[in-house]
Amino acid sequence: MNALPLCASCHREVPAGARYCPACGWDLRDGRVRPPTGLLPANQLLHNRYRIMQKLAQGGQSAVYLVLDTVDGGKQRAIKEMSEANLGPVEREKAINDFMREAEMLRTLDHTALAKVYDSFVDSHKHYLVMEYVRGHNLEDELIETGRPLEWERVAKWGCMLCDVLGYLHSRVPAIIYRDLKPANVMLLPDGNLKLIDFGIARWLHPLRAHDTSQLGTDGYAPLEQYNARSEPRSDLYALGASLYHLLTGRIPEAAPLRIAGQSLTPVRSINSRVPEPLERVILRSLNLQAQDRFTDAQQMREALEWAILQQSQGAGSPAGNMPGMGPAPRAVNTGSIRPHNGSGMGRAVGSGAVPKLQVRPLRLDAGYLEMDDVAVLLLEVANQGGGNLRGRTETNLACLSVEPPILDANAATLQVRIDTTNLVPGPYTCHLAVRTNGGDQIVPVRFVVRPPLGPSHQGARYSGR
């Protein structure tokens, strides 16, 4: 049996064909050490200034730490760390350029709903961005911890706040398109204010450029034009409408490509009857598939949200007057096919028949750290909160994710969500599982991190239920 090759740096055995040493991170091709991100220990002094307190988050090719600035009176800061580990030359260059673009962009901004940037530097082949530490938690966690759709009054107020910050970004010269607005990227501060975080895929709008540099965004929140790499300011308004929809219903709206193919957009009030009809009208307007049928800008959407709040505060049984700047009630022709509802919130269709109403718990699955060539199984509960018989199917967006049973034909079921890390490279992953039924749809994020191997690859299996 042939002996395995040795790393030129630490002299340990490495798997045949490996690009990096699993023990020390040495690049076996060009002789550089590129350790993975997220490994800085507590109390380490970074850049002779920032003392690591704890890791706050990790995802993609970056991690975020809470640090103390020892030069500026021990003030708390957040440091975003980007790693070059496991990236080839082309990928590495793009990742660095994106990171530096984010730093340059944030330095030019000054708004109470945006985190300030204080510094950036390079240390041990990693790029760092020093930012304002934002206390609180994101709106997705607020929804999950509450365990039910959020109060419409809070959501409408948040919508106005987010219109303000989007209007600020879109008014820059050139305009900045955020491109990834969703509850997970909005921090809720202890005082009730919001901050928009993670500008990793934001870009400047160049009028002479026909396409974005890449197709980015998140299914359910991204508008149709973003799938064709053609984002513009009204693309962010679609994502804002989708975010409000999610917070008010507990569900991510049906993805734009599915809607253009004929998939129904479930009305907000058929899921949550407490949402006032004027507010639903504003959200449906923002979710038009064609950009020209949405609000013209963030200020107009803010005025429409204020109008919806006012309509409800006046106790009107139905909206009086027209939505600001939009003339008559919004047309449904470009929202995709919309299921009718009677506003009862109890899943009763017009007529005597009872209709199903999908409920999925939990709304997010986290498998934590997994080894390479590992298998984990998580549990997802599906129930019918309406009448009739719930039927449907499940879909996943990555081959490493599978669900048993794939077909639903009962009003209550426990789905086994299987994650197989075979052939996956080390790093964090976010997959999506869609439960599509005659009682509505729900998209569930599935998150996990594949650990780098400590030695030659091995196989293992484990079972965990949530």
| Tens-digit pLDDT profile for residues 134-151 | 888 899 989 988 888 999
Has residue 338 got a pLDDT over 50?
A: no
Structure confidence at residue 423 as a pLDDT band (50, 70, 90)? confident
Encoded tokens for 1: 């049996």
Spell out where 236-384 has E strands.
358-361, 365-370, 375-384
Q: Residue 205's pLDDT band (boundaries 50, 70, 90)?
A: low
The verdict on 189 and 61 lying in the same domain is no
Domain limit, last residue, from 313, 346, 372: 313
| pLDDT tens for each residue of 31-62 | 555 556 777 889 999 999 999 999 887 765 67
Flag whether pLDDT at 463 surpasses 90.
Answer: no
Q: So what's the pLDDT on residue 329?
A: 42
Q: How far apart are CA 80 and CA 128, in angstroms?
A: 6
Does 327 map to a domain?
no
Catalytic residue (choose from 69, 98, 119, 180):
180
Kindly tell me if the per-residue pLDDT of 328 is higher than 50. no
The 62-69 sheet, strands edge to edge: 45-46, 50-59, 62-69, 75-82, 126-132, 117-123
Residue reference for tokens 């980007």: 82
The answer to whether position 335 is within a domain reads no
- Say if residue 159 is in the same domain as residue 307: yes
Residues 64 and 196 in one domain: no
Residue 113 sits in a domain of what CATH number? 3.30.200.20
Task: Give mean pLDDT, residues 222-250.
Answer: 91
- Cβ neighbours of residue 327 closer than 8 Å, sequence gap 6 or more: none
Q: Examine the pLDDT at 68 and tell me if it is beyond 90.
A: yes
Higher local confidence (pLDDT), 443 or 375: 375
Q: What is the CATH number of the domain that holds 409?
A: 2.60.40.10
Mean pLDDT, to the nearest integer, of 105-128?
A: 83
Using one digit for the tens of pLDDT, what is the confidence trace for 152-187? Answer: 999 999 999 999 999 999 998 888 888 889 998 899
Pairing type for strands 358-361 and 375-384 reads antiparallel
Average pLDDT, the chain: 79
Q: Which residues contact 267 (CB under 8 A, 6 or more apart)?
A: 280, 284, 338, 339, 340, 341
Mean pLDDT of 255-276: 90
| Domain endpoint, select from 99, 132, 165 | 132
Q: Model pTM? A: 0.67
> The tokens of 450 are what?
């594949």
Q: What pLDDT was estimated at residue 27?
A: 60
Per the document, the length of the chain is: 466
**What is the Cα–Cα distance from 234 to 243, expressed in whole angstroms?**
14
pLDDT at 450: 86
Claim to verify: residue 303 and residue 412 sit in the same structural domain: no
Q: What percent of the chain has pLDDT over 70?
A: 75
**Looking at residue 177, which CATH number applies to its domain?**
1.10.510.10
Residue 429 lies in a domain: yes
pLDDT in tens, 379-388: 888 888 878 8
Query: What pLDDT score does 203 carry?
Result: 72
441 is catalytic: no
Q: What is the mean pLDDT of residues 126-133?
A: 87
Domain boundary among 98, 132, 166: 132
Instruction: Give residue 18's pLDDT band: very low, low, confident or very high (50, 70, 90).
Output: low
In a domain, residue 112? The reply is yes
Same domain, 127 and 232: no
CB 103 within 8 A of CB 78: no
Do residues 300 and 177 lie in contact, with contact meaning Cβ atoms separated by under 8 Å? Answer: no
Tell me the two tokens of residue 451.
């650990």
How many domains is the chain built from? 3
Domain of 106, in residue numbers: 45-132
Residues 124 and 269 in one domain: no
